[in-house]
Amino acid sequence: MTTVKRVVCLLDDEFEDLELWYPVYRLREEGAEVLYAGPEKGRKHIGKYGVPAVSDISYDDLDADRFDGLLVPGGWAPDKIRRDPRVLDFVRRMNDSGKPIGQICHAGWVLISAKILEGRTVTSTPGIRDDMENAGSVWLDEAVVIDRNIVSARRPPDLPPYAKAFCDLLFGR
């Protein structure tokens, strides 16, 4: 009997629509349960292109023992998400547990603020390359970079290999 993998996707206003929906649908196709976590349970958040997503749980409900993986979409939402100490603590606990963390585009800001990038190899949108390097990481201009439990990607055209890499890591393939 297989246990369903549970993944949480961090949410706030102005997320990059494709960077949220594409990996979520891929994970659901694989049989994973994906929940959205936002500042408040039940709050509707609007993506950069107008597509809404509603938070299933609040940041207060984030518990690393309850989830097998974490997704952080890009857009402008990461700049808001990174300011919440509940999120940063959760990201650190997920990282300390070695659980898969997926980040794309500007989502690297959340990992920077959680202070988990020292000595790691990652990618992101080139616009935050300096931020990523200043946080102690080695930055590569590649579609997907996997360093232990962190799967990172640059931008929407990288979504197919990013989602595949995250699914493969989550499901142990």
- Catalytically active residues are 106
CA 113/CA 26 separation, integer angstroms: 27
Q: What is the DSSP string of 85-102?
A: HHHHHHHHHHHHTT--EE
CA 46/CA 157 separation, integer angstroms: 21
**DSSP helix, strand, coil percent of the chain (3-state; round to 5):** 40, 25, 35
